[in-house]
Structure 1
């Protein structure tokens, strides 16, 4: 069952919230739906795209955090030693910033079109920022 539809660049993905593992992060994000931004290619982390959010606060701390999200996993770094951000892995990722390795809350997992993720990554890398929209499925 899908909780979300995510439209990133020309691609559409179904996704589910990881409510059992990251309940506070999921609840905070759900309050902000629809969530609209842009993704750019990561700088230090490998094969991923991210949404830089500066000092924006979701009001959550660490839960279900990882430095190595798998392709199709979305993590939220709640801020602290680096800026708040959301990262979507499309390949191998070691989540980091200019200050070193970080960990983010794995709170969303894509459930469809995972084969399109590398295309999204290449598009963001070579063509620049891509629009992204997270919508609740009714």
Structure 2
């Protein structure tokens, strides 16, 4: 199990990759590190932030996708053929 550190301003979080359940997504993320993105608070979705991937996630497979993250989960939406550039969605506990 791999743990990564995420920093936003004065806040630091540890994230555990679900490599057994999502091996391709985990491998892709590790290859991108260190990754710097701009986080945007999603006012319409409660305590969550979004980070646009600007297309670098294209081609990452969807592994057990969900639209409803649990508190503390980080979702990777790699983008799609419709032109979406992909996003990270982080829901606060």
Scaled by the length of structure 2, the TM-score of the pair is: 0.83
| Structure possessing the higher radius of gyration over alpha carbons | 1
In 1, the alpha carbon distance for the partners of 2:45 and 2:89 equals: 9
Contact 2:52 2:85 in 1 (8 A): yes
Please say if 1:88 is aligned against 2:90: yes
Which runs of 5 or more residues in structure 2 are unaligned?
Answer: none
CA-CA distance at 1:6 after TM superposition: 1.1
Cα offsets for 1:63-103 (capped at 9, x unmatched): 0211110111000111114331111012xxxxxxxxxxxxx
Aligned residues: 91
Compared CA separation, residues 48 and 85, structure 1 to 2 (3 A): same
Counterpart CA distance in 1 for 2:88 and 2:52 is: 7
Rounded to whole Å, the distance in 2 between the matches of 1:56 and 1:19 is 20
Q: When you count strand as a share of all residues, which structure comes out higher? A: 1
Structure 1 gap segments, 5+ residues each = 91-113, 115-138
1:20 paired with 2:20, answer yes
> Contact 1:29–1:58 at 8 Å: present in 2 too?
no
Residues 6, 15 of structure 1: 8 Å contact kept: yes
More relative contact order, 1 or 2 (CA 8 Å, 6+ apart):
1
Could you tell me how far 1:44 is from its partner in structure 2? 4.5
Equivalent pair of 1:39/1:50 in contact (CA under 8 Å): yes
RMSD, aligned CA: 1.9
Question: When the two structures are superposed, what TM-score results if normalisation uses the length of structure 1?
Answer: 0.58
Q: Any residues of structure 2 matched to 1:59-78 within 5 Å, and which? A: 59-78=59-78
Q: Does structure 2 retain, via aligned residues, the 8 Å contact 1:28–1:59?
A: no
